[in-house]
Amino acid sequence: MKFLRHYVVGLVCLAMGFMLVWQPLPTQAQGAAAATGKPALYEFGAKMCIPCREMKEVMAALKISHGDQVEFRMVYTDEEMPRFEQNKIMLIPTQVFFDASGKEVDRHIGALPKEEVLKKLKELKFIR
């Protein structure tokens, strides 16, 4: 009986070790955007989601007004699911802010009005 208990504990420890080793490491490009030389705002959503459609309009307006300073990109779940997994997106809409090197610096879950996005971009010093 004691042997069986030690055997089970050993198997559990071994399984946990494998899970730990196979998890993506933070030093890998987890949660990173392609470095374009300028900061980026990625809007993660779905085409059928009403708040995501509202954010699409906000992102389009921001791209026109500030596209020279920040990369604005819509990322849809049905088109780029690996990017959702890479950035650990659990709810939509989610906005993820990346610095010029592609590192995530902030995120917000839920729709944001244009004024709030501009406020966040100024706070992060992405725009003047």
- Residue 21 pLDDT: 40
Q: By the 8 A CB rule, do 40 and 31 touch?
A: no
Give the whole-angstrom CA distance, residue 7 versus residue 30: 35
Residue matched to tokens 């592609």: 102
**28, pLDDT greater than 90:** no
Q: Which of 5-9, 13-17, 79-83, 116-120 has the lowest mean pLDDT?
A: 13-17
Collapsing DSSP to helix, strand or coil, 120 comes out as helix
pLDDT of residue 128: 83
Q: Which domains does the chain have, with CATH numbers?
A: 40-123 (3.40.30.10)
Name residues whose C-beta falls within 8 Å of residue 44's C-beta, 6 or more positions apart in sequence: 75, 77, 83, 84, 87, 89, 92, 93, 94, 95, 96
- Residue 37 has phi, psi (to 5 degrees) of 90, -5
Q: pLDDT category, 26, cuts 50, 70, 90?
A: very low
The least confident of 8-17, 30-39, 43-52, 60-69 is 8-17
Write the CB contacts of 93 (distance below 8 Å, at least 6 apart in sequence). 43, 44, 45, 49, 51, 52, 55, 109, 110, 111
Task: Tell me the percentage of the chain whose pLDDT exceeds 70.
Answer: 72
Q: Which DSSP helix (H) or strand (E) runs through 53?
A: helix 50-66
**Is 24 a residue whose pLDDT tops 70?**
no
pLDDT tens digits along 34-44:
556 899 999 99
How remote is the C-alpha of 29 from its chain's centroid? 12
